[in-house]
Structure 1
Amino acid sequence: MIRLTEIKLPLNHAPEDLTSAITTKLKISAEQIATFVMFKRGYDARNKRNIQLIYTLDITLSDNTLTDKLLSQFESDQHVKVTPDTSYKYVGEAPADLTERPIVIGFGPCGLLAGLTLAQMGFKPIIIERGNEVRQRTKDTFGFWRQRKLNTESNVQFGEGGAGTFSDGKLYSQVKDPNHYGRKVMTEFVRAGAPDEILFVSKPHIGTYKLVSMVEKMRAEIIELGGEIRFGTRVDDIHITDNQITGVTLNNGEKLDSNHVVLAVGHSARDTFQMIYDKGIYVEAKPFSIGFRIEHKQSTIDQARFGDNAGNEILGAADYKLVHHCKNGRSVYSFCMCPGGTVVAATSEENRVVTNGMSQYSRNERNANSAIVVGIDPARDYPNHPLAGIDLQRELESLAFELGGRDYNAPAQTIGDFLKGKPDSQLGDVKPSFTPGITLTDLSKALPDFAVEAIREAIPAFNKKIQGFGSDDGLLTGVETRTSSPISIKRNKEFQSINTKGLFPAGEGAGYAGGILSAGIDGIKVAEAVAKSILKLD
């Protein structure tokens, strides 16, 4: 097949225009095209009056000799190449007499893909998840949002599917992926019930409710292939002999033996981080970010980004990605933007308030929200201790709990009053989506002065890029502290801890991913590394 990239057509083009674009580019007739498929579709909305759709197409010609001729003819054209093979190829297969079973700690996107890939290769992994299965976890989470009853082991952060289950379900990433692991992640999701469109739209997403049923189907496949999943079970100890991992002890006292353990806990497994640090496993502090959730009417963002094309079905609800470099040397950026979504309570510890964003597949809620956060550098902002970032997170989350009224309300303030530095008196047109609820207060007390100063400078700058972003009626809700893991568990080229053989740090919690797709990709890579180690492959 021949792959054509950067095929640009008007937003409302006719279906036959794709065929015309192919024939024009390759200088062939329509009859010479056997078939073509859309590999990717994105858009360029920089000119709101002339939004362009951008396609990547894979074309099969009726004559193979013509394919070779055209590839030779367009050899110097970077937009005409042979279609790459994106099919997944397993690195090995477990022998029938294998007695050791690898252990996967954590069943978020990384642990899910690691466990699934290991199961598909015949290794029958044992997966340990401290939270509940996804249906019960959903009940636990909604119980907190609606009744303020927090289950510290089953919530937005902990449970089957990981933190990504209660999110926008974004499935795009900027990680380099020459081996097409991302395609396997997407293919597995589609097999489990995700919409086919995630395979070709440029910014695919799924949404919470679709993720729930998908995770269940993937779990069923792991079990059918001989894997085992233990919910409501926490790893309380890791056993190490002569720098080699030998097994784990669970919170019920049971000991599981294995020389291959995947550590795929999320970025909020603070007690696990403390445990591995105490065991002498090498850990470093890493940068993360802190800030607020910002809400606008989705119609405001749609109009600013798409103009008269707002509401177009192909474009959907508009998103944005913003960054501003401040005078005080800080950078402020948008993170985890949720079009047509809600701000959600995301704490996993009592007497602390944390925000995050979530949306459904339809993205049809009234507000748009995203995190507006400031970068934190361990060398600059807190003591040089591997776990000091966790202390800073907890300090800010506890302060937010106090400012919110000590009942899990989140502290909030309109953008106008925050920028003017005056106490908030009433809401504007943007109604808060956060549950359990908000308490209007002075958000300048919620973050360090440098962060408040930076965000106050950044919002007017963002307003120049998106008209209405700095509107007085917009709403800020605090605090956002779980943008990424505050630690990195260093690993070598074999994906094993640099000082603990057989321990495979993986995903967001270990500092190797940021989002569902990149976490899933890392899970596949680590599963391959485990298989190679067990099979003694190079």
Structure 2
Amino acid sequence: MLRLTEIKLPLDHDEAALPAAIRTRLKIAAGELLGFTVARRGYDARKKTDIHFIYTLDVEVKDEVALLKRLKGVPHIAIAPETRYQFVAHAPQGLSERPVVIGTGPCGLLAGLLLAQMGFRPIILERGKAVRERTKDTWGLWRQSKLNPESNVQFGEGGAGTFSDGKLHTQIKDPKQHGRKVLDEFVKSGAPEEILYVSKPHIGTFRLVSMVEKMRAEIESLGGEFRFQSQVTDILIDNGQVQGVTLANGETITSRHVVLAIGHSARDTFDMVYQRGVYVEAKPFSIGFRIEHPQTLIDQCRFGPFAGHPQLGAADYKLVHHASNGRSVYSFCMCPGGQVVAATSEPGRVVTNGMSQYSRNERNANSGIVVGISPEDYPGGPLAGIEFQRQWESRAFELGGGNYFAPGQRVGDFLAGRASTKLGSVVPSYQPGVTPTDLATALPDYCIAAIREALPAFGKKLRGFDMADAVLTGVETRTSSPIRIKRGDDYQSLNTRGLYPAGEGAGYAGGIMSAAIDGIEVAEAVALDMLRV
């Protein structure tokens, strides 16, 4: 197979355009082209009057060797890379030990799936509920202000990524094709096939729910076991070696290989791990607000006369500003055509996040506008970031008036330093509701100053971004884990053998794709170590 890159075609090209472009690039006749697949499709929107697709194609031709020799030196033609995943191990018959995976977010699910596919029959523990029951509980908060601390946006099958835009792109290096393995498994579980090739793939919440169920079913068919509403309250360690875990009901599960894929909000588990002497350190994260604009405004800014084109869909953006006070302000988890959601997991606190469906057809675009902070901003030990987050989540609950309403403010009022008494043309999507107020005390002063400086700067990059009626909703605190459970090159904890910190909660991922890839890498490490033992 040959890989062709930089194939440029108009947005409205027909089916014949791709093979014609291939023949032109390779200078071959129609009969010499045996077939092709789209490896990647993106678009170039740098010139709003000339937006076009850019393709990467894997091509099969007659007499490939002779063709390569003839085209030697021609740019954008190479041998196509191998994309099939290769398992690193297979469990021997009669293996008695079973690995334990704690958490069923993208990291835990992929770790469990890979271990099951290799024959290791993992036991997968989840403190929350199965995804359908969890969804009902989550809607209970959004519609009735009823929070279930063990079943919500953060806890339950599928993890926090289930209620998100379902973004699947990442910038991490992936020479072993782990990312392709993740995408292949997602497609097998019901994701649209286009995620295999579009440049910014996403799935959306509703599709993620059914996908998670299908992945669970495959793991179980291969000998894996799921236990929901099974919170791990203790990790059993003897002479620096994990021996098993204890559940909230008092049950002990014995295993010398435990994957800790608990997500970024399992604060009580973070504390337990730290108390058991596992090496934990504080790490940087970010806090801020959610901002909402009309999606039509963002489409117009990004696509100009092509705004609304069906091949482009809802436009996204990525913005960064380095403020004069030394803080970096950036857009985070941008959700085109989505909604702002209540994402707290603790009573008496308000947390925001963003979510989209696959269609991305809601009226508003939303994104986190967040400020980077470091452990120097919250001194007090490895777990001090948790209390820092809680401080501002409790303040948001207070400013919202209680009952899990979120505090909100028009951008015009925020920039002018006055409280909002009502909202304007942009109707906030956060449920159960938004209370107009003054967000000046919702975050540290240095964050407020940096965001006030950043919004007009963003308005120069995307005209209208700082429009007066855009809405800020607070607070966004769960951008990433406030800790890192540090591990070595063998993926095991620095000081606890057999414990494999993984994914976002351990500080090794950020988003669905990187967490899932980390789950695969950790599962490989577990399998190889189990064979050595």
Specify the TM-score bucket, using the shorter chain as the normaliser.
over 0.9
CA RMSD of aligned residues (A): 1.0
How far is the alpha carbon of 1:274 from its aligned partner? 0.3
1:242 to 236, 239, 245: 239
Unaligned 5+ segments in structure 1 are none
Match of 2:3 in 1: 3
How far is the alpha carbon of 1:69 from its aligned partner? 2.5
Structure 2 residue 421 is the aligned partner of structure 1 residue 412? no
2:425 to 422, 429, 434: 429
TM-score for the superposition, normalised by structure 2:
0.99
> How many Å separate the matches in 2 of 1:490 and 1:75?
47
Contact 1:340–1:367 (Cα < 8 Å) also in 2: yes
Structure 2 residue 385 is the aligned partner of structure 1 residue 389? yes
Match of 2:56 in 1: 56
Structure 2 residue 297 is the aligned partner of structure 1 residue 300? yes
Structure 2 residue 261 is the aligned partner of structure 1 residue 268? no
Q: For residues 178-215 of structure 1, what are the alpha-carbon distances to aligned partners after superposition, in whole Å with 9 as ceiling and x for unaligned? A: 11101110100110111111111111111000000000
Match of 1:41 in 2: 41
Structure 2 residue 485 is the aligned partner of structure 1 residue 489? yes
Match of 1:185 in 2: 182
- Within-5 A mapping of 1:125-164: 125-164=122-161
Match of 2:226 in 1: 229
> How many Å separate the matches in 1 of 2:72 and 2:176?
23
Match of 2:500 in 1: 504
Match of 1:166 in 2: 163
How far is the alpha carbon of 1:313 from its aligned partner? 1.4
How far is the alpha carbon of 1:75 from its aligned partner? 4.7
Match of 1:104 in 2: 101
- Within-5 A mapping of 1:106-125: 106-125=103-122
> Amino acid of the residue matched to residue 47 of structure 1?
K
Q: For residues 206-255 of structure 1, what are the alpha-carbon distances to aligned partners after superposition, in whole Å with 9 as ceiling and x for unaligned? A: 10000000000100111111110000110000011111000000000000
> Amino acid of the residue matched to residue 480 of structure 1?
E
How far is the alpha carbon of 1:425 from its aligned partner? 2.0
Match of 1:203 in 2: 200
- Within-5 A mapping of 1:74-113: 74-77=71-74, 79-113=76-110
> Amino acid of the residue matched to residue 76 of structure 2?
H
TM-score for the superposition, normalised by structure 1:
0.98
Q: For residues 302-359 of structure 1, what are the alpha-carbon distances to aligned partners after superposition, in whole Å with 9 as ceiling and x for unaligned? A: 1111111111111100000110111111100000000000000000000000000001
Match of 2:25 in 1: 25
> How many Å separate the matches in 2 of 1:425 and 1:304?
29
> Amino acid of the residue matched to residue 527 of structure 1?
A
Q: For residues 473-527 of structure 1, what are the alpha-carbon distances to aligned partners after superposition, in whole Å with 9 as ceiling and x for unaligned? A: 1000000000000111111111100110000000000011111111110000000
Q: Secondary structure at the match of 1:299?
A: helix
Q: Secondary structure at the match of 1:48?
A: coil
Contact 1:75–1:81 (Cα < 8 Å) also in 2: no
> How many Å separate the matches in 2 of 1:78 and 1:159?
49
> How many Å separate the matches in 1 of 2:325 and 2:6?
40
Match of 2:345 in 1: 348
How far is the alpha carbon of 1:6 from its aligned partner? 1.4
- Within-5 A mapping of 1:353-364: 353-364=350-361
Q: For residues 237-277 of structure 1, what are the alpha-carbon distances to aligned partners after superposition, in whole Å with 9 as ceiling and x for unaligned? A: 00111110000000000001000000000000000000000
Match of 2:396 in 1: 400
Unaligned 5+ segments in structure 2 are none
* Identity %, equivalent residues: 67
Match of 2:467 in 1: 471
Q: Secondary structure at the match of 1:31?
A: helix
> Amino acid of the residue matched to residue 35 of structure 1?
G
Contact 1:238–1:245 (Cα < 8 Å) also in 2: yes
> How many Å separate the matches in 1 of 2:72 and 2:420?
63
Match of 1:333 in 2: 330
- Within-5 A mapping of 1:452-463: 452-463=448-459
How far is the alpha carbon of 1:45 from its aligned partner? 0.7
Q: Secondary structure at the match of 1:389?
A: helix
Structure 2 residue 283 is the aligned partner of structure 1 residue 286? yes
Contact 1:155–1:346 (Cα < 8 Å) also in 2: yes
Structure 2 residue 211 is the aligned partner of structure 1 residue 218? no
> Amino acid of the residue matched to residue 175 of structure 1?
I
> How many Å separate the matches in 2 of 1:73 and 1:123?
49
> How many Å separate the matches in 2 of 1:269 and 1:77?
53
Count of aligned residue pairs for this structure pair: 533
Q: Secondary structure at the match of 2:49?
A: helix
Contact 1:130–1:231 (Cα < 8 Å) also in 2: yes
> How many Å separate the matches in 2 of 1:75 and 1:262?
48
> Amino acid of the residue matched to residue 242 of structure 1?
N
